[in-house]
Amino acid sequence: MRIQKRTIGLIVYLVLLLLPIYWMLNMSLRSNADILNAFALYPKDPTLTNYVKIFTEESWYSGYVNSLIYVSINTAIALLTALPAAYAFSRYRFLGDKHMFFWLLTNRMAPPAVFLLPFFQLYSTFGLIDTHIAVAISHCLFNVPLAVWILEGFMSGVPREIDETAYIDGYSFPRFFATIFVPLIRTGIGVTAFFCFMFSWVELLLARTLTVTNAKPIAAVMTRTVSATGLDWGLLAAAGILTIVPGALVIWFVRNYMAKGFALGRV
Amino acid sequence: MTIRLEEVTRKMGAETHIFPTSMELKSGSLNVLLGHTLAGKTTLLRLLAGLDRPSSGKIFVDGVDVTGASVRQRNVAMVYQQFINYPSFTVFDNVASPLRRAGVSPQEIDQRVRSVAKSLHIDALLDRLPAELSGGQQQRVALARALVKEAGLLLLDEPLVNLDYKLREELRQELRAIFRRRESIVVYATTEPTEALLLGGHAFVVDEGRILQSGPSIEVFHAPASERVGKVFSDPPINLIGGRVTGRSAVLGDTISMDLPDHMTLLDEGAYRFGVRANFLNVRRQSDRDLEIEGCVELAEISGSETFIHLEHHGVSWVAQEEGVHSFGLGDTVSIFVDPDHVYAFDGSGRLAACPPYEARGGG
């Protein structure tokens, strides 16, 4: 009986959690007129026109393309800079190492909006406004420290003797790093990539401010549906569903390791 | 190949891990570094390997100064206490990796890996990943990787400590045979006196960052130069008790008196500390000359097929090692006996003053 009660409780919880997403899916499959006309628990006359519109109109799908481009660039930069940094923090003692390590994390303590003005001013000066790289670099502000922290945790879990054994065996540092060390922490790299992806994908403020049209992210594009005739609910819901998809896919791949990532690799 | 340390020290901040140490090791020699944990064995090995740089002093290999040379330029192999293998490589690739780095031809790699794998009984496991092996097998892989390289200097840092008793015995026997066939300098660090004796070779007794005594293992065991060496090179630690020599007799503690045995006749009168190894203390009288120590049992622990009896006699604790499994009640009064011929005498500064006779070739 107790197990049944728990099962029922969990089902109720799951339904509550999934309700908004289901509702969005429901709306995305109906036309705007239908949504405004009648209340329906499921689409009586399902239509894919909303999705078709997103995939055929350049102003729509370019939002996804832009988002994916800067998110990918950001993840790559974050990983490439954080890997050597995390290795140094995990393996060497140097003057101020602990302070520097902590300082990295303090970058995450201020809301990104604080950095908005300096970023905007700086990127305007260098002519970087409305480029993918501008958004990617600005997101490094909070992704690189996080990546360093997560990777450092994973790297510290690898015994230092493995490094030494490799040197004794005659490996050069780059070869050791690429062929022995990276495979050892590939879980950590995957989790780190996921976190970078996620933060960059959902971040709206910096992404919207630093772009105009050429690198406009999908979240900013979605605000376009506000027109004189009101909101196009169906279209907005379809865009929302499509925005969830990449995140869900990435989560699926790292689902078994996420807890370790949230613990910054220190489990 | 010979490796020579000259007045080498190692400091970490304000702490000194190794005080000025000099030693010379020759090809084909088996050297055992014996000492308690934190004695500096690992630090010495790391200095020999070139993983750490000495704070002062120089290291020569075949007369060439290699003090600043990185570990990649040295001809060394090392086995750690932990089972260190490359987890993403198969056993074959693990063992082959030093050869691949050295640019050995694939046929030769294959042949050498298989032969060393065979000698360590891991030839059936070559396609597995280290995580799929037992602890003993993992350490065999690590050993194989160190051996296949045929480095001039083979360093082993307590390689058997993390294995269970049976495996340890087995692997120790095999290692002894393997070391005998080697041309290289083998340096083996251990905390266990029995291991040092079983392996034989040359012992270096290390304590608190210094080498206290070195020499053939058996000689060092039989004639420890100081109390400290006696303690380190003895398991359980040697029993020590203060006493005096007067005329032709000696008193151990306040109560146990004996006529001076032959090896002590030359001792001057005065205060000494007397040492008795636990294995020479028996619960049964062996001869009339035996000294009797009567005491109260504090603890009796059974280890394998031996019993260690901890006894309190007039405020001094004694440990006796008895063959076989015996049970003693706590608080029982028991007498233990020792032949005066097996008593060491150390002088006031802890140096060996009188050493019991032993046969140089005899076993411990």
Q: Looking at residue A97, which CATH number applies to its domain? A: 1.10.3720.10
Instruction: Give the model's pLDDT for residue B363.
Output: 40
Is residue A54 in some structural domain?
no
Distance (Å) from the alpha carbon of B80 to chain A's nearest alpha carbon = 8
Q: Is the pLDDT of residue B361 over 50?
A: no
Q: What is the DSSP letter of B260?
A: P
Domain B2-230: CATH superfamily is P-loop containing nucleotide triphosphate hydrolases (3.40.50.300)
Residues A91 and A167 in one domain: yes
Interface residue A157 vs chain B (CB under 8 A): no
CATH for the B236-354 domain, from 2.40.50.140, 3.40.50.1820, 1.10.1060.10, 1.10.10.60: 2.40.50.140
Gyration radius of chain B over CA positions: 24
Q: Is the pLDDT of residue B364 over 50?
A: no
User: Which of the two residues, A84 and A1, has the higher pLDDT score?
Assistant: A84
In this structure, the number of other CB atoms found within 10 A of the CB of residue B152 comes to 18
Is residue A20 in some structural domain?
yes
Using an 8 Å Cβ cutoff, are A28 and A51 in contact? yes
For range B212-240, the mean pLDDT: 90
Average per-residue pLDDT for chain B: 89
The answer to which of A5-14, A106-115, B209-218, B291-300 has the lowest mean pLDDT is A106-115
Tens of pLDDT, residues B61-88:
998 999 888 888 888 999 999 999 999 9
Overall domain count for chain A: 2
Indicate which of B86, B88, B161, B162 best probes the interface with A, i.e. most A CBs within 10 Å of its own CB.
B86
Residues 6+ apart with CB under 8 A from A150: A188, A191, A192, A195, A261, A264, A265
Instruction: Say which amino acid occupies B317.
Output: S
Residues A39 and A141 in one domain: no
Model confidence at B359, pLDDT cuts 50, 70, 90, reads low
Tens of pLDDT, residues B143-193:
999 999 888 999 999 999 888 888 888 888 888 888 888 889 999 999 999
Instruction: Give the model's pLDDT for residue A252.
Output: 86
Element (H, E) at A246: helix A233-254
Could you tell me where the DSSP H helices lie in B120-164?
135-148
Sheet of strand B352-354, all strands in order from the earlier edge strand to the far edge: B256-259, B249-252, B239-246, B270-276, B344-346, B352-354
Residues A151 and A234 in one domain: yes
Q: How many contacts does A have with B, using Cβ atoms within 8 A? A: 49
Helices B91-101 + A160-169 axis angle, to 10: 50
Q: Where are the domains of chain B?
A: 2-230, 236-354
Is residue A55 in some structural domain?
no
Distance (Å) from the alpha carbon of B72 to chain A's nearest alpha carbon = 5
Burial annotation B69-92 (CB, 10 A radius, 16+ → b, else e):
eebbebbbbbbbbbbbbbebbbbb
For range B201-205, the mean pLDDT: 92
Provide the residue range defining the domain that includes A146.
61-262
Average per-residue pLDDT for chain A: 88
Tens of pLDDT, residues A121-136:
999 999 999 999 999 9
Distance (Å) from the alpha carbon of B173 to chain A's nearest alpha carbon = 25
CB contact under 8 A, A167 and B145: no
Residues A39 and A73 in one domain: no
Beta-strand (E) ranges in B116-235?
Answer: 153-157, 185-190, 202-207, 210-216
Residues A101 and A222 in one domain: yes
Query: One fold for both B2-230 and B236-354?
Result: no
ipTM of the complex: 0.82
Interface residue A103 vs chain B (CB under 8 A): no
Using an 8 Å Cβ cutoff, are B299 and B330 in contact? yes
Contact residues on chain A for B86, CB-CB shorter than 8 A? 162, 165-166, 180, 184
Tens of pLDDT, residues B118-141:
988 899 999 999 999 998 899 999
Residue by residue, DSSP assigns A104-138 as HHHTTTS-GGGGHHHHHHHHHHTT-TT-HHHHHHH
Distance (Å) from the alpha carbon of B145 to chain A's nearest alpha carbon = 9
User: Which of the two residues, B235 and A145, has the higher pLDDT score?
Assistant: A145
Residues in chain A: 267
Residues A33 and A100 in one domain: no
Angle at B338 between CA B336 and CA B343, to 5 degrees: 140
Q: Is the pLDDT of residue B28 over 70?
A: yes
Model confidence at B115, pLDDT cuts 50, 70, 90, reads very high
For range A236-248, the mean pLDDT: 89
